[in-house]
Amino acid sequence: MAVWDNIDTFCPEKNSFKNWVAAIAKYKSIDYKRRYLKLLEQENIEGLNLASSWSGEKAIMEKVIPRVNSNSISGYYPGKDDSG
């Protein structure tokens, strides 16, 4: 449809028809990708389950910071206990 809508802008002295159509397709695809990415940025994440496994976080922290005991790690995550 974009080719037909813009046929009056085609100039055979500047470019071949196939290159002109390819350019329209290229810019249409760029526009489509921009619209898609914009929609992703605006997506509502309220209903997504973003919870993580406390036991996994705790195990990683204990490996990275071996001097920290489990009581002080629990302090970083209020309401979490050592049971996982």
Share of the chain above pLDDT 70, in %: 60
Q: Is the predicted pLDDT of residue 64 greater than 90, yes or no?
A: no
Residue 34 or 71, more confident: 34
Query: What per-residue confidence (pLDDT) applies to 22?
Result: 92
Residue 3 lies in a domain: no
Beta carbons of 27 and 2 less than 8 angstroms apart: no
13, part of any domain: no
Side-chain half-sphere exposure of 25, counting CA atoms within 13 A: 6
73 in a structural domain: yes
Please state the domain count of the chain: 1
Assigned domain for 62 exists: yes
Per the prediction, the chain carries an average pLDDT of 75
21 φ, ψ (degrees, to nearest 5): -65, -40
67 lies in some domain: yes
